[in-house]
Amino acid sequence: MKQEYADIIHRCFRCGWCKLPTNYQDFNCPAYLKYRFETFSSGGRMWLLRAWLNGDITTSERLQQIFFSCVTCKNCVEACALPHIKDKLVDIFIAAREDLVEKSAVPPPVRDYLKAMSISGNPYKKPQAERGTWAEGLDIPKYTDQEYLFFVGDVGSYDEVGMKMARSVATLLSDTGVSFGILGEDETSDGNDVKALGEAGLYEHLAKQNIGILNERGVKKIITLSPHGYNAIKNEYPEAGGNFEVYHYTQVLGLMMNDTMPKGTLNAKVTFHDPCYLGRWNDEYWAPRFALGSIPGIELAEMDRNMKNALCCGGGGGNFFTDILGTGKDSAAQVRVSEAVETGAEILAVACPLCYKMLDDAVKAEDLGEKIRVMDVAEIVNESRK
């Protein structure tokens, strides 16, 4: 544990502000919401970490579960009452995971994920050659000297829902007149969630590999499908020597090229779910709303917990792959889709492939398919054009 962190962990008062959004309506920390023991709140984690570092508790499976259930959503960072520790809370939890990873004391799903990432370069244990298959039939060029590189990431490359989303985004970017290409089978995992799970060495390896390819191809500007990749490339890569101009695709559609984005009319009430890695991590709340709001006929309805207060889908911090939090009535995704239904919206808009799958599964689990469907921002724009 970095000295900088070790020096401040005792400064958490465990006052519990971290559990709530700023409007107090309900628990907003997915791990606490699910488990309800004080140990699973950010404050509990801080105190346990101190006890662990002091040798008052041992490296048990429960401790691993507690640390790896954090979804790194940063609600606690937003809500914490103590200015001198709040910004570092999630960094501290990630540092604790690094310590656990170093001791090989991680829950089996985390071990399996990291193993797959290390061996296959993706969590799905699929061949690297299949990375570009999502784009088949779309006539998307390989990146040569286009203005932008479209970076798709693991979920967009291999997951069925993610691939669907990648296709709709690519189609729309293309129709908007964005000059871009893809790396296809040459793309490497962005490593964002590997880092969040505490495997710093593997993350560095992935980041360096990626940066090497990107620099070799002369990439200057990047559009990402996933807010997770956006976060890694924007905030982490510079430290590893990768300096790129990076945008999330909703920034291109909502801010930079909204005028040329083709749109029809869609008469629908839509509520937008803020992805943590776009919102709280990168302070981008308006771009996706602008993109949606520019479509005639769309009525945007906000959930009570929105923007800085949004409840995470539960898929952050690697949990999308490890599923430590699991499903159930108190799982963040299931609570979130019910909240979306309360707005009266028939579409729950997402801007992240992880949120997409998490919430889509939750709609099924809650049997809300008749009331609401999950769609990504680009898919909604495309639907308006039909």
Partner 1 sequence: MDTIYKKIADIVGSNYVSNAAEELYIYSRDQGVQPARLPDYVVMPNSTEEVQKIVALANKEKIPIVPMGGALVLSGLTIPQRGGIVLDMKRMNRILEVNEKSHYAVVEAGTSQGMLQAYLKKHHPKLKHSVPDAPPVATIGGNIAIHGSGHLSQSEGGFHTEMVTGLEVVLASGEAVKLGSCSTVPKWFSRAPIPDLAGLFMGWNGTTGVITKIGLKLFPSPKLKDVMMFMTEDVDSITDILFRIIDTEMAEDIAFFVSPKPAYFEGYQLIMISVVANSEKEMKLRLELIRESVREYIDSKEAGFLPLPPYMKVKLVGAPQKNLSEFADVMKGGGFEYVGAIMPVESIPEAYRAGLEITSKHDITYSMGARIVGRGSCVMFYYAYPFNRADSKNIETVAKALEETNEKALEIGGIPWKTEISGQQLILERMEPGTYKMMTEIRKLLDPNGIMNPGNWEVQS
State in angstroms the smallest separation of the CB of 325 from partner 1. Answer: 12
CA–CA gap between residue 255 and residue 249 (Å, rounded): 10
Letter string b/e over residues 344-374, b meaning 16 or more CB atoms within 10 A of that residue's CB: ebbbbbbbbbbbbbbbbbbbeebebeebbeb
Rounded to an integer, what distance in angstroms lies between the CA atom of residue 344 and that of residue 340?
7
Q: CA-based Rg of the chain, rounded to a whole angstrom?
A: 20
Which amino acid does the sequence have at 357?
Answer: K
Q: How far is the CB of 68 from partner 1 (least distance, A)?
A: 13
Q: How many helices (H) does the chain have, and how many strands (E)?
A: 18, 8
In the complex, least distance from residue 247 CB atom to partner 1, rounded to whole angstroms: 34
Which C-beta is closer to partner 1: that of 86 or that of 167?
86
Please identify, using beta-carbon distances, which residue of 38 and 99 lies nearer to partner 1. Answer: 38
- For the CB of residue 151, give the shortest distance to partner 1 in the complex, in Å: 39
What is the CB neighbour count within 10 angstroms for residue 274?
A: 27
CB of 79 to partner 1, least distance (A): 9
DSSP code of residue 184: G
Q: Which two tokens stand for residue 212?
A: 């090497």
Q: Are 67 and 45 in contact (CB under 8 A)?
A: yes
Nearer to partner 1, 77 or 214 (CB): 77
Separation CA 370–CA 191 (nearest Å):
36
Closest CA to 250 of 298, 185, 327, 178: 178
Report in angstroms how near the CB of residue 98 gets to partner 1 at its nearest.
19
Looking at beta carbons only, is 70 or 352 nearer to partner 1?
A: 70
377-384 vs 286-293: helix crossing angle, rounded to 10: 10
User: Which residue, 2 or 24, is less far from partner 1 as judged by CB?
Assistant: 24
Kindly state the smallest distance separating residue 317's Cβ from partner 1, in Å. Answer: 19
* Residue among 12 and 149 whose Cβ is closer to partner 1: 12
Give the DSSP letter of residue 232: I
At its nearest, how many Å lie between partner 1 and the CB of residue 27?
9
Is the torsion defined by CA of 227, 233, 234, 235 positive or negative? positive
Name the residue with tokens 């690094």: 98
How many residues in total does the chain contain?
386
Nearest distance from C-beta of residue 13 to partner 1, angstroms:
4
- Judge contact between 141 and 181, C-beta under 8 A: yes
- Toward partner 1, which CB reaches closer, 60 or 265? 60
Angle formed by the axes of helices 61-68 and 89-102, nearest 10°: 140
DSSP 8-state code for residue 204:
H
- The least distance separating partner 1 from the CB of residue 70, rounded to whole angstroms, comes to 14
Residue number with CB closer to partner 1 (39 or 224): 39
Q: Cβ closer to partner 1: 66 or 165? A: 66
12 vs 298, beta carbon nearer partner 1: 12
Binding site for partner 1 (CB under 8 A): 10-17, 19-20, 23-26, 35-39, 44, 47-48, 51, 56-58, 60, 62-63, 66, 81-85, 304
What backbone phi and psi angles, to 5 degrees, belong to 268?
-155, 150
